[in-house]
Structure 1
Amino acid sequence: MRGHLLLTAWAFPPARTSGVYRAAGIAEAFVRAGWHVTVLCGPAALFRASGVADDTLLETVDPQIDVVEVPLEHHELSADVSAWSWMRARHPEMWAKRRLRRDHREFPEPWYGSWAPALRRAAEAVHAARPVDLALGTAAPYVDFVPGEHLHAAHGVPYILDYRDAWTFLTFTGEPPPSLTDAVRARERALTRNALQIWFVNDPIRRWHADQYPESSARMRTVRNGYDIPAAGRGAEAFAVARRDRSSGPLTFGYIGTINYGAFPFDAVIEGWRSAHGRLPEGSRLVLRGHLGRTGEASPELRATLAGAEPLGVFYEGPVSRNALPGAYKQFDALLLALPSGPGVTSGKVYEYAATGLPIVSVHTPDTPVSEVLGDTDHWHAPGSLSAADVADALLAAARQVQTCTDADRDRAVAAGTRWERMSILAAAIQDVEAELNGGARP
């Protein structure tokens, strides 16, 4: 056994929320590297009660991993009114004000700061039972960094900060959030100053932090998300879609991912598809798969938008379970990568899409850093803007590629995609960490 990792992740299987796949992947990668792993996470009951849990995800968690659930009364997920305090039930606005004051007193993060004392106690208990050699917090929420910070101060344990997003700037615009305070800036600077390493999911987010905290820049790394091989997969090519003769007949474009009203670029997708539809082979369809919103319950606006698109050949066909993903991709001839736009926006799906080898049509602005993953491939079709004409041109270019693709073309695209398999990416990152720990020197 190489060491004991304490991983803190608010969302961990069976939670079905943003970042859970990265957290589960990090835990698995350290186990494969010979580490013992303990995870501190939010209670599964919170996620189950709010419909944001998927118990099949538990199949991806190695039984060697110790999972410690740390309680928190959540402002949204704690929906059992009978368990609320008198103050919360009778005077919710007053409760919220008091709660936010307590949050900022414990850790400068609204709604999650109050979790910090329980996380410190849990980290101490884990360390007392089995000394921790390395702590890693994956955020957001950024209170996930507290156990590493605490164990470092109390016991000299090195820690890693893993950023899936950004705490002090908006990845959609690059601007500071309106709620940013001096306390948050100071806490982030202290955290980065004392970290063994700081991980980021893409280069723009890493570069921004390097500019803000140059004294810590040498310890910053880009550790990308990557895609996960399903339990029944056949290695890195589990998602590969074999070429089929599509020189004539209708084509099926597909999207797999969460569909959030207001974040998913529906207008650009629908208007681009409307413009291209009459020039695509007759009977061509766009199929959308995935959960509708965070809970899977679509808003009336979202349902109306989906229903209004059906006459154009756009159909919503429900979510896809994790183990069924390879089969779902095989139903498509090309993929639609529809993302919120922004200079720091990243996507876990782009890696999975790349692994299929299918032509990919982007629907996001050019400054969104998808080119870091697909920019050196010839099966990526990125419009110059979100105008209907530009999106339509990208759809038509992908259709032509589907119709003329050779086996060699598809094999080359699949090979380019398999470099993004998550365990390979994390294995390299862990080797880097181990070299630094064994060398005993900090940059």
Structure 2
Amino acid sequence: MYRAIGVANAFAAQDWDVTVLAADEAVFGVEGTVDLSLSGQVSPGVRVVRVPFTSGVYARDITQWGWMHARHPELWGVGHGLPFPETGFGDWRPKLAGAAEGVHRDRPVDLTIGTASPSVDFIPGWQLKRRHGVPTIMDYRDAWTIDVFTGQRNPRATKRSERWERRFVDAADQIWFVNEPIRSWHAAKYPMAASRMRVVPNGFDLADGVSPAVPFTPRDADRSLTFGYIGTINVGQFPAEPLLEGWRRARTRSPELARARLVLRGHLGRSGVAGETLDSYLRRAAQEGIVYEGPVAKADVAEAYAQFDALVLALASGPGVTSGKVFEFAATGLPVVSVHEPASAATTIMQDSPAWAPAASMSADDVASALIAGAALARQQTAAARSAAVEWGAQWERGRQLEAGVEGAAELLGGQRRGPRSQKERKQ
């Protein structure tokens, strides 16, 4: 959602007339992971059109289920995938297509952008391109038929999803990816479209204009260090066990780490509720000084970062994994300990940081060494060093990252520059 808000705001900032298609607000509360502060981050000039969305896959109140859903959930699921081959979202296709036609009828559209996943979000652009010739951009911040952890075919990809992806790629005038590995994989898969593919990276957001940069304050030598992590904690993606074992070993090797804490903040998976495996992990971690303190609203992240002396960038490993959090971590100016494989795309972001302690591998000893190095950086960092790190991290602000993408989008319309103009003349 951060990417979607950022893209809409970036175009609005360049005087585009932006209309966003979105589900009803109530939909986002179904899983209990809503951050209401994000609504305030949307530019006042952005018009939002709500498109009704229903999906029994996310309906937890069984009293609302129909007979077929309750008695034959497998057959019911197949039926809901008929409009579009994406579990939980396929039914949205006709409503999105209809909403796009309605917007174009009322206020002719010059350009569409779909940001996915879910991949059904590409339907409005595909619809207006094939029906009306409107240029369209695929903002492919994820992948559908390719596994971003390996670069190989996603084993869950179906023949129908492969066909739909090819339709989208064939229709797109530009295709954006968040990093080079994901772009190159898709370029190899669709060589005829490679010239239309480009990297438009993620970045950190200014919450109400406030940077996540942490002001420097002198540290009391007797005060123990607090490491921090802010981000989603997913079983199977968050490197839980390597981090825990590395932290344990660091505590045995370093008196500094023996009295330090690691605070985890963020949502627990997609549901916001820890399952049995994650709950067990958090209980074991708490015995080693790793504590979970709940999610953080986007508007409050700067305040949360200010509670930490260093950060732990714990990511799923894979050459296509960047994570939006790496940019925010970089912007704080705090020392960052990377707990992910060196081949991760996040390495290309952090490698020039003046306050970075990467793990040489995901072995417990290498993770421990990185944590010990991060503690030393936290103790040794001066006001000048913090300032230098903040200055370096400022380059990753999302608006800056998207500038080239917005300018490139204008090329699809003949490279016309947009200055102040009347509502009628503004591009949509």
* TM-score (normalizing by structure 2): 0.91
Alignment match, 2:23:
42
**Residues 273-282 or 168-177, more deviating:** 273-282
In the alignment, does 2:359 pair up with 1:378? no
Query: Aligned-pair distance for 1:69?
Result: 2.2
> What does the per-residue CA deviation read over 1:307-339, in whole Å, with 9 as the maximum and x for residues that have no partner?
222232211112112221111111111100111
Change (3 A) 1:410 1:218: same
Q: Residue 212 of structure 2 contacts residue 328 of structure 2 at CA under 8 Å; is this kept in 1?
A: no
Does 383-392 or 181-190 show the bigger shift? 181-190
Give the match for residue 306 of structure 1: 282
CA distance in 2, matches of 1:65, 1:414: 30
RMSD of the alignment, in Å?
Answer: 1.9
Aligned pair count reads: 414
Q: How far is the alpha carbon of 1:232 from its aligned partner?
A: 5.4
Contact 1:353 1:360 in 2 (8 A): yes
Write the letter of the residue equivalent to 1:145: F
Q: Judge conservation of contact 2:31–2:270 (CA < 8 Å) in 1.
A: no
Unaligned runs of 5+ in 1: 1-19
| Residue of structure 2 equivalent to 1:256 | 230
SS of alignment partner, residue 318 of structure 1:
coil
TM-aligned CA deviation for residue 243 of structure 1: 4.9
Aligned positions of 1:11-410 closer than 5 A:
20-100=1-81, 102=82, 106-231=83-208, 233=210, 237-245=211-219, 247=221, 249-278=223-252, 279-281=254-256, 283-410=259-386
Q: Quick one: distance in 1 between partners of 2:280 and 2:187? A: 44
Please list the CA deviations of residues 400-424 of structure 1 after superposition, one character each: whole Å capped at 9, or x if unmatched.
1122222222111111111010112
Determine which structure has greater relative contact order: mean sequence separation of CA pairs < 8 Å that are 6+ residues apart, divided by chain length. Answer: 2
Cα distance, 1:246 vs. partner?
A: 5.6
Deviations 1:154-177 (A, max 9, x none): 111000001111112101122212
Alpha-carbon distance in 2 for matches of 1:431, 1:150: 24
d(CA) in 1 for partners of 2:180 and 2:163? 23
C-alpha displacement of 1:78: 2.7
Question: Secondary structure, in 3 states, of the residue corresponding to 1:228?
Answer: coil
Q: Does the residue aligned with 1:76 lie in a helix, a strand or coil?
A: helix
Counterparts of 1:146 and 1:108, CA distance in 2: 12
Letter in 2 for 1:53: V
Instruction: After superposition, give the CA deviation of every residue in 1:229-254 in whole Å (9 maximum; x if it has no partner).
Output: 11151xxx442342533655421111
- Given that 1:46 and 1:78 are in contact with CA atoms closer than 8 Å, whether structure 2 keeps it comes out as no
The list of structure 1 runs, each at least 4 consecutive aligned residues, that deviate by more than 4 angstroms after superposition, is: none
Distance 2:159 2:67 in 1: 34
Moved more, 193-202 or 245-254: 245-254
d(CA) in 1 for partners of 2:292, 2:118: 31
Partner Cα distance (2:272, 2:160) in 1: 36
Task: Measure how far apart 1:376 and its partner are.
Answer: 1.5
Quick one: distance in 1 between partners of 2:192 and 2:35? 41
Going from structure 1 to structure 2, the CA distance change for 1:72 and 1:216 (only over 3 Å counts) comes to: same
Change (3 A) 1:168 1:49: closer
What residue ranges of structure 2 are gaps of 5+ in the alignment? 417-428
Paired amino acid for 1:277: R
Change (3 A) 1:82 1:126: farther
1:55 Cα deviation from its structure 2 partner:
2.1
Verify the 8 A CA contact 1:260 1:293 in the aligned structure 2.
Answer: yes
Note the alpha carbon deviations across 1:329-358, whole angstroms, 9 max, x for none: 111111001111112112010000000111
TM-score (norm 1): 0.89
1:91, 1:152 → 2: CA distance? 38
Q: Is the 8 A contact 2:202 2:324 kept in 1?
A: yes
Distance 1:158 1:439 in 2: 13
Partner Cα separation in structure 1 for residue 312 and residue 148 of structure 2? 22
CA–CA separation in structure 2 for the residues paired with 1:207 and 1:294: 29
**SS of match in other structure, 2:74:** helix
- 1:36 partner SS: coil
Please list the CA deviations of residues 377-401 of structure 1 after superposition, one character each: whole Å capped at 9, or x if unmatched. Answer: 2322111211110000001111111
CA distance in 2, matches of 1:55, 1:78: 21
Q: Distance in 2 between matches of 1:188 and 1:246?
A: 56
Instruction: Give 2:423's aligned residue.
Output: none
Report the 3-state secondary structure (helix = DSSP H, G, I; strand = E; otherwise coil) of the residue aligned with 2:401.
helix
Which is further off, 199-208 or 85-94? Answer: 85-94
Amino acid aligned to 2:58: L
Q: d(CA) in 1 for partners of 2:206 and 2:2? A: 11
